[in-house]
Amino acid sequence: MITVSGWADTVLVCIVLTSFVLLGSSRLGACIRVVAFQGVLLGFLTLAARQDDPSLRAPILALVSTGLKGVAFPWLLFRALRDANVRREVEPFVGYGLSMLIGTSFLAGSLWLAGRLPLPSPTISPLVVPVALFTMLVGLFLIVSRRKALTQVLGYLVLENAIYAFGVGLVEGTPMVVELGVLLDLFVAVFVMGIAVFHINREFDHIDADRLSALRDWAG
């Protein structure tokens, strides 16, 4: 019988794989679906983490977060994408192959760094901290290295996923209201960002964030 750690390990490895797919994928629609899938995986992780908690907290939280990340966010983002009417390609600054190689170095770095941090007593799997660190770095990298505003939103979502994974893996005692509040904030943030992307497209006819450069202090 595969233990709790086994299940959690598999989910965490899948999360790593989804991050790599995000780094190497060129289609915006595919990227949005992968981020949604990552959210669903985090729901599984929540269930795996709170296996010994008899109350209904964990299933409710997993349900809400899966619903938000797996259903609501992709719906919002697809709507923004459809209204934006731009080429549905990612258009990176850093090529896909190089991005994946950089991702590999992030992974190695996170595994090394996590080995130096003294972990508190029970965590569901020793992989939680490195995977969360790695996903965080991937999220930040996506924000910086991709051209379109929508991919910046996706990078932000991946960053939030990573931090959520940290929370689920390490912390036991946060009141549910606060966790729900975090999720609510996230929802409103994505909602507002979706509206902003729509406005950016209407205003500029593109959603390339690197071309938003009218406000600057250096001339030229």
Partner 1 sequence: MIPSLLLIPAVGGVLAYFVRRAGPRRALLVLAAVAHAGMTAATWRVEPAPAWGGWLELDALGRMFLTITSALFLAAALYGVAYLREEGHGERRDVEEGFLFDNAPEATFTACLLLFLAAMTLVTVSQGFGLLWVAVEATTLASAPLIYFHRHHRSLEATWKYLLICSVGIALALLGNFFLAVAASGHGGASVRLVLPDLIARAPGLRIVWLKAAFLLFLVGYGTKMGLAPLHTWLPDAHSEAPSVVSALLSGALLNCALLGIVRVQQVCAAAGQAAFGQGLLVGFGLLSMAVAAVFILGQADYKRMLAYSSVEHMGILTLGIGLGGGGTFGGMLHAVNHSFTKAMMFLVAGNILTRYRSKSTEEVRGVLRALPASGMLWAIGLFAITGSPPFGPFLSELTILKAALDQGRAGVAIAYLILLAVIFVGMATAILGMAQGVPRDARMTARAREPLLRVVPAAALAAVVLLLGVYIPPAVRTALEDAARALG
Partner 2 sequence: MSGGSILPLLLALGLAPLLLGVINRTKAAVAGRVGPPLLQPYHDLRKLMAKGAVYSRTTSWVFRAGPVIGLAAVVVAAALVPLGAPALVAFPGDLLLFVYLLALARFSTVIAALDTGSSFEGMGASREVTFSTLAEPALLLALAAIARKTGSLSLSTMLPHVTVGVWAQAAPPLALVALALLVVFLAENGRIPVDDPATHLELTMIHEVMVLDHGGPDLACILYGSALKLWLFGALLIGLALPVHSGHRWLDAGAPALGMLLLAVLTGLVESSMARLRLLSVPRLLVGAGVLSVLALLLVLR
What is the binding site for partner 1 (CB under 8 A)?
Answer: 117-118, 120-121, 136, 140, 143, 149, 152-153, 156, 159-160, 163, 166-167, 170-175, 178-179, 181-182, 184-185, 188-189, 192-193, 196, 199-200, 203-204, 209, 212-215, 217
Q: Of 51, 85, 104, 174, which one interacts with partner 2 (CB under 8 A)?
A: 104
20 is a contact residue toward partner 2 (CB under 8 A): yes
Q: Report the nearest approach of partner 2 to the CB of residue 101 (Å).
A: 7
Which helix (H) or strand (E) covers residue 53, if one does? none
- The span from the CA of 141 to the CA of 118, in Å, is 26
- Token reading at 146: 């991709």
The residues that bridge with 27 in the sheet, in sequence order, are 89
Binders in 171-210 for partner 2, by CB under 8 A: none
Q: Of 4, 13, 117, 144, which one interacts with partner 2 (CB under 8 A)?
A: 13
Contacted entry of partner 1, partner 2, none for residue 171, CB cut-off 5 to 8 Å set by kind: partner 1
> Which CB sits closer to partner 2, 97 or 181?
97
Instruction: With beta carbons less than 8 A apart as the criterion, state whether 28 and 148 touch.
Output: yes
Pick from 124, 121, 159: nearest CA to 140: 159
Q: Report the nearest approach of partner 1 to the CB of residue 86 (Å).
A: 15
Contacts 24+ apart (CB under 8 A), 64-68: 64/180, 64/183, 65/39, 65/164, 65/183, 66/39, 66/40, 66/42, 68/39, 68/183, 68/186, 68/187
- The span from the CA of 135 to the CA of 109, in Å, is 12
Q: Report the nearest approach of partner 2 to the CB of residue 220 (Å).
A: 34
Angle between helix 57-66 and helix 28-49 axes, rounded to 10 deg: 180
Start-to-end CA span in the chain (Å): 64
5 is a contact residue toward partner 2 (CB under 8 A): no
- Token reading at 220: 């030229």
- Token reading at 101: 């190689």
> Which CB sits closer to partner 1, 48 or 159?
159
Q: Would you give the distance in Å from CA 165 to the centre of its chain?
A: 10
Contacted entry of partner 1, partner 2, none for residue 6, CB cut-off 5 to 8 Å set by kind: partner 2
> Which CB sits closer to partner 2, 29 or 67?
29
Q: Of 29, 67, 126, 167, which one interacts with partner 2 (CB under 8 A)?
A: 126
Binding site for partner 2 (CB under 8 A): 2, 6, 9-10, 13, 16-17, 20, 24, 96-97, 100-101, 103-104, 107-108, 111, 126-127
